[in-house]
Amino acid sequence: MRTSKEILEIITNSRKERNLSLSELARLTGLSKAALSRYENGSREFPVNKTEEFAKALSLDPRYLLGIESNDDISSIYDELEPLRKKRVYNFAASQLKEQNSKAIRSGRSTAAGAPIDGDYQDAQEEIVVRSEVPRGADEVVTIAGDSMEPLLKQGSQAFVHYQPVPDDDGQIVIVSINDVGVTCKKIYREDGKIRLKSINEKYEDMVFPASDVRIIGKVIMK
């Protein structure tokens, strides 16, 4: 079966192939245009339990959207079900898909994207949560506090982090802890015993520190 991200990709491509606007698809599925926009830009997870509504709106086989092969035994059983029972089957399959693609991950901490924040992480109690669509290698999901990494990482958004003490390459986006300064999210560059931290938002100047003062917590995983 497909992940919710794969289902959404098919839906988005089908909408564009049919020259349907977000407003038109919203009307056909009974959802708001704003909700559809958030699904497509990735700021909200696609609700796989709505697969049947989108399949009907786009004239697609819902089994194709879910990734159920036509020769599966379940397909022949499904074809004999009444409409209400078909919907129950799809809702159950959607819930199972979401559970299958979920992963327990550390959450609840914030990191600055602007001026560094004091301490390792700020203003939140660490917890373990279950999130779906967790990228491979992610160890924690953190909230971005500040706008220095916009438009790529928006203030208030969440970013997945893989713990590692050394960046893969210069220019990689990392979470770092700076001695006596705090924690921040920046692009990192190594220069003759120093570390240069660069923002994407051009209103912020680069920050330069001795390499010995900077501890790399991990890299941000870009989905």
Rounded distance between C-alpha atoms, residue 37 and residue 22, angstroms: 7
Rounded distance between C-alpha atoms, residue 132 and residue 29, angstroms: 23
pLDDT-derived band at 63 (thresholds 50, 70, 90) equals confident
In CATH, the architecture of 103-221 is: Ribbon (2.10)
Contact call for residues 118 and 179 (beta carbons, < 8 A): no
46-60, 98-112, 175-189: range with lowest mean pLDDT: 98-112
State the average pLDDT for the chain. 82
- CB within 8 A of 210, min separation 6: which ones? 193, 194, 195
Dump pLDDT digits (tens) for 106-157: 776 777 776 665 545 544 445 545 455 677 788 888 889 889 999 999 988 8
Dump pLDDT digits (tens) for 183-218: 899 999 999 999 999 999 999 999 999 999 999 999
What pTM does this model have? 0.53
In CATH, the architecture of 4-100 is: Orthogonal Bundle (1.10)
Q: Name the percent of the chain lying above pLDDT 90.
A: 34
User: Is the per-residue pLDDT at 221 higher than 50?
Assistant: yes
Rounded distance between C-alpha atoms, residue 96 and residue 94, angstroms: 5
User: Is the per-residue pLDDT at 31 higher than 90?
Assistant: no
| 153 C-beta neighbours (distance < 10 Å), count | 22
Question: Which stretch of DSSP H or E encloses residue 79?
Answer: helix 73-79
Q: How far is CA 213 from CA 168, 179, 195, 197, 209, in A?
A: 19, 5, 9, 12, 7
User: Is 162 or 113 the better-scoring residue by pLDDT?
Assistant: 162
User: Is 109 or 177 the better-scoring residue by pLDDT?
Assistant: 177
- CB within 8 A of 46, min separation 6: which ones? 4, 5, 7, 8, 11, 39
pLDDT-derived band at 64 (thresholds 50, 70, 90) equals confident
- What is the per-residue pLDDT for 99? 66
- What is the per-residue pLDDT for 104? 65
Rounded distance between C-alpha atoms, residue 142 and residue 128, angstroms: 12
- What is the per-residue pLDDT for 165? 92
- Residue 107's DSSP bridge partners are 127
User: Is 175 or 102 the better-scoring residue by pLDDT?
Assistant: 175
Domain residue ranges of the chain, discontinuous segments joined by +: 4-100, 103-221
User: Is the per-residue pLDDT at 178 higher than 50?
Assistant: yes
7 burial via Cβ count (<10 Å: 0-12, 13-18, 19+): buried
Rounded distance between C-alpha atoms, residue 65 and residue 36, angstroms: 17
Q: What is the mean pLDDT of residues 18-37?
A: 90
